[in-house]
Amino acid sequence: MRKLTFIFLGLVAATAHGQIVTNTIDTFANSQTTSVITGSVTNSVAAAGAIGGYRTMILTATENENELPISLNVAATTKRLILSTPSSATASFNVMWGGLAGTNGLGGISLIAGNPTPLQSRLKFSLRSADFASSFTWSFTDTQSRTASYTGTFPIESSTAPDLPYDIALSSFSGSINWASINFITFSGGGVAELDLSLSAPFTIETTMMAPVPEPGTWAAAALLAGVAGLIHWRRRRAIV
């Protein structure tokens, strides 16, 4: 009787639990330094812990009166992405993850763990500090060159406070793409005078993989099994009486 009951309960439990599958965009395991005084500079490196194995950073000075270096760095020791903008300067940045040399695509990587839609997938990362409010944009491009993007805001965040987590549903991105065939991932921001910004690794996409729901026939069999178990138990009790 107990064995039959456990089988039935197991079928019910299978529909109620899910497994979290994590796709890591970048752990910031490799350091990278980019700096600019005027104009734009591009720097691409092989990066362990980065999706596709390459990370490309583009840093652009939109104004820089004092002509002091503006920098965008990945610090492997602290696992941070850091934008440092001096006084009287404004810069924007773009970080791209791709394949060989950062210019080839990822070749159609699935970021949603085989799910038919992105409804159960979320982009996660953290803001460590920011001395001014600014906007940011995440963009994903599939192998058909279609793009989905999301624009959000970083508030002023003290470096002494805990990291501020971001948990963004992929379903909230604008644009229709094939999330199971991603070619490029880009993250951009800046555009605010004298902005100092720090973000913490890892950047990840988490997908909740729900257990498959049994077919109606399976439920019927389970119900019949439970009924037979109950009948046997009832007859045994009558026999004892």
* Residue 178 sits in the same domain as residue 217: no
What is the tally of structural domains in the chain?
Answer: 2
pLDDT digits (tens, 9 = 90+) for 28-59: 999 999 999 999 999 999 999 999 999 999 99
* Tokens matching residue 31: 């350091």
* Residue 205 sits in the same domain as residue 225: no
List the beta bridge partners of residue 90: 63
pLDDT at 230 over 60: no
Q: Rounded to 5, what percent of the chain is helix, strand, coil?
A: 20, 50, 30
Claim: this prediction has a pTM higher than 0.95: no
pLDDT at 214 over 80: no
* Residue 162 sits in the same domain as residue 93: yes
* Residue 101 sits in the same domain as residue 182: yes
Residue whose tokens read 């773009």 = 94
* Residue 96 sits in the same domain as residue 30: yes
What mean pLDDT do residues 4-23 have? 59
* Residue 37 sits in the same domain as residue 139: yes
Nearest partner of 90 among 124, 64, 59, 52, judged by Cα = 64
pLDDT of residue 114: 85
Domain that holds residue 222: 1-17+211-241
**Contact between residue 227 and residue 1 where contact means Cβ atoms under 8 Å apart:** no
* Residue 70 sits in the same domain as residue 114: yes
pLDDT of residue 237: 55
* Residue 226 sits in the same domain as residue 128: no
* Confidence class for position 6, pLDDT limits 50, 70, 90: very low
What mean pLDDT do residues 114-133 have? 95
CATH number for 158: 2.60.120
* Residue 156 sits in the same domain as residue 190: yes
